[in-house]
Structure 1
């Protein structure tokens, strides 16, 4: 099969990347091809699943026209700046223009050493590949901007971590893999021309409207801030915890990227941390908006020379841009909270009402996803409140809140049926619960991918009732709880 690569990043100067070939997998074997995504990209899923296609997905065969590069970037990792990171275990095969005219990166993750590997093996173990496939596809089905999983393959080669594990490669698709840390790489070297070239590339690729603005680089900063201020609320509204929000893990395209020790809330707790490496709770669930702004501030710093020749005016300009984050975030988050509790016509006091529910959920160990999902059943005048109140250790705590809530619902112009439908569309029934993801991974390590396939099927329709898969809604039993998640390296 001929892939119509239309590579643009590889035309930038050599200091932006290193040309490298993937490691040759010894015995590649297909786990999964995302057929719908392949067709969207203009690729033949049957060919991708063929022996020749699997060799490409494993890095054993580099297709004609591929860029085959590892990109350079830096980053703040848990607040500490590292001037050179880069794609240490990923290779950008190239870019394609999909059937909708959108440019998309195709990247192999876990494809061997690159000049940026820093002593690592450049490989990926099967578990992290399965986790990223499952969670990124779940996020896409939830309607959240994200990188996508095109395919997963076994390499036939062992990977040494705490134990010897099967090696695998994830084929990841993104609008681009350009990060805040990519800008930091050049800024840290005093390479203002590199920052300018990168900014021009990002404007052309992601924000063409900024190129038409009177001040393109300020317009670029405004646009990136706006996208992140819209993205982070969507994480919070489904209980997602990224786990490692370093600046090298923040995409300037506004997509969720780099699913390492990510997880979803079971019971609501704003201080919840799953990532084994986040020992200080820097990236806890409730800290994510603050960290997003911190990361965006680091981006703004890299753009200062492009904003104004006068350093003081440049700083003032950047600070002015960053002021937009909080109100934009709050507008999206508050609108989402209203939808989750069935308030389609915003009124004074709505946010306090939603906040009171979250407080009572925290005090009662209430499951985040199911509390909101079952709330839809209780929203009508004859609604059944028992499923939602039973989520509370003290059900009377919900009853006290619900009395005020129902009085507020009575002021809504929408009919009960319309309101219920809107709430079901805002509150998923199915998320990639941590214990379900872990169970699928453990089965995969035994070469059983049936649970992985079934979980993918369930997660592809998160807002639909699926009686045949109702068990996937359930929170974990005590012995099933996952309290720590781990980075793939």
Structure 2
């Protein structure tokens, strides 16, 4: 059976100033490295038994029937600096199926490439595949990975690297930067069209521009709190990497913390810590302020709009804080947040900061009663543990079950990802496949994957992560 993707392609029906029609560029020798068959089935994709055909389509060497490939326009603030035209410089949206976008990343140049080669090397392709699927298994809204293909061609970064193409699935690829591009061009008609499209696709209950903004803010507030609850650092929270849908998007120099450090930075291009772990809540508020600015021209009374939009943005830190308190309370076994619980949480985090305790393993050890093994200052921890034990006595739910369901045993640790990429470059996909199997059930007893819970040795520690461009 031939591959069949039941495309609908509503984005391609928008005015052509929203995108540039662009076919992907074929590659020399595509080879399928990974394919997410369950995801494909959920999207209604059939005829997926022929790996050679999948490699052709998901490398961009063959355009499937019904696809209308295009590169999307957007602008953005990159590390706070305005860039008026970005767009998909190395990605092509093939189309949509069952309400989800199917996009190729690393598929060649587009009109927005800005002198780039439009390609990706294999490392970022496999990193995004693993991390995005791990985030999905953790229950965090995210884009998904459908396929990874090697191209049989080198791309040139610091040195020649094997090329790869990633197929990404998202509920859409509309970004804050998409709105910013139209706002910068004073295209009020385009803004109105985009808002209506985004409401219909993502927030059908929103009855106005104001309710749309409130809905996006609410989704982003919960998303960032969820990132914080698992020690995830996006690394490059530019407005062009901020999806209106409330999904995590663009896994470039992303990372999960090992040792807890509120100001942890991994991204090689984040030289001043703008997107450090603890700065992420503030940055998402800043991003939402940029979105709010683009929506003001759609309101009949601009001054009133600024006041109402400002109130929504200014309340966002309270939303994020409430979500974080709820999520971190569950991490220590509490399902009903009470007075004093935030202090209990903060005191544990302060201890973890002081000792550089492993973020994931410390919380995972709480229900087993072995968290003291993660903390160097045992006397202070013992005092905290007595307070915590007293609080658990008043908890109506089963604290042990709450903690086991909230604290993952397994995350995609940076050193394991680097090991996996190194093996894949040499043609060995076994570490990739093992990581994928382990991370599919992150809250389960790790059993045969227990070695993947180990923090890095000093010689294994990853100090920097890199974009794929």
TM-score by length of 1: 0.94
In structure 2, the residue matched to 1:401 is 384
Q: 1:163-218: per-residue Cα shift (whole Å, max 9, x none)?
A: 100110000000000000000000011111111111111011111111xx2xx111
**1:38 alignment partner in structure 2:** 40
Equivalent residues in 2 for 1:95-244 (5 A)? 95-97=96-98, 103-210=99-206, 213=207, 216-244=208-236
Give the aligned partner of residue 279 of structure 1: 271
> Could you tell me how far 1:329 is from its partner in structure 2?
1.2
- How far apart, in 1, do the equivalents of 2:112 and 2:170 lie? 20
Confirm whether residue 329 of structure 1 aligns to residue 331 of structure 2: no
Correspondence for 1:91? 92
CA distance in structure 2 between the aligned counterparts of 1:184 and 1:402, rounded to whole angstroms = 49
**Is this contact kept in 2: 1:124–1:167, CA < 8 A?**
yes
In the alignment, the residues of structure 2 paired with residue 2 and residue 434 of structure 1 have an alpha-carbon distance, to the nearest angstrom, of 36
Contact 2:6 2:45 in 1 (8 A): no
Q: Output the CA distance in 2 between the equivalents of 1:67 and 1:142.
A: 33
Name the SS for the 1:281 alignment partner. Answer: coil
Q: Contact 2:392–2:399 at 8 Å: present in 1 too?
A: no
Aligned to 1:338: 329
- Identify the residue that residue 381 of structure 1 maps to in structure 2: none
**Is the 1:110–1:168 Cα contact (8 Å) retained in structure 2?**
yes
Q: In the aligned structure 2, how far is the partner of 1:323 from the partner of 1:365? A: 33
CA drift of 1:309 comes to 2.5
Q: In the alignment, does 2:469 pair up with 1:486? A: no
* Contact 1:268–1:366 (CA under 8 A) maintained in structure 2: yes
State the Cα deviation string for residues 378-431 of structure 1 (Å, max 9, x = none): 2xxxxxxxx3111112222211211111111122233xxx22111100000000
Residues in 2 aligned to 1:18 and 1:233: alpha-carbon distance in whole angstroms: 35
Structure 2 residue 77 is the aligned partner of structure 1 residue 81: no
The alignment yields a C-alpha RMSD, in angstroms, of 1.0
Given that 1:338 and 1:344 are in contact with CA atoms closer than 8 Å, whether structure 2 keeps it comes out as: yes
* Alignment equivalent of 1:361, drawn from 344, 348, 352: 352
| SS of equivalent residue, structure 1 residue 70 | strand
Q: Report the Cα offset of residue 347 of structure 1.
A: 1.6
Deviation at 1:320, TM superposition (A): 1.8
Q: Unaligned regions of 5+ residues in structure 1, if any?
A: 98-102, 379-386
Measured after TM superposition, the shift of residue 365 of structure 1 is 1.1
> Deviation of residue 145 (structure 1)?
0.2
1:429 has 2:429 as partner: no
SS at the partner of 2:77? strand
1:382 maps to none
Secondary structure in 2 matching 1:344: coil
CA contact (8 A) 1:366 1:391 kept: yes
1:350 aligns with 2:341: yes
List per-residue Cα deviations over 1:311-365 (Å, max 9, x = no partner).
2112112112213312221221111111001112322100001000000100011
Native 8 Å contact 1:35 1:45 kept in 2: no
Which secondary structure does the structure 2 equivalent of 1:91 belong to? strand
The residue number in structure 2 matching 1:58 is 59
Q: Which runs of 5+ in 2 are unaligned?
A: none
Distance 1:352 1:429 in 2: 25
Residues 334, 402 of structure 2: 8 Å contact kept: no
Q: Would the aligned equivalents of 1:107 and 1:172 in 2 still touch at CA under 8 Å?
A: yes
2:161 aligned counterpart, secondary structure: strand
* 1:21-36 alignment, distance < 5 Å: 21-36=23-38
SS state at 1:321 partner: helix
The Cα shift of 1:45 comes to 6.5
* Residues 18-63 of structure 1: CA deviation (Å, up to 9, x unaligned): 001111111000100011111111113634x431221001100001
Matched-pair contact (CA < 8 Å) for 1:73–1:248 = yes
CA distance, structure 1, for counterparts of residue 307 and residue 250 of structure 2: 32
Could you tell me how far apart the structure 2 residues matched to 1:465 and 1:61 are?
42
Shift of 1:4: 1.3
Matched position secondary structure for 2:195: helix
> Could you tell me how far apart the structure 1 residues matched to 2:284 and 2:262 are?
16
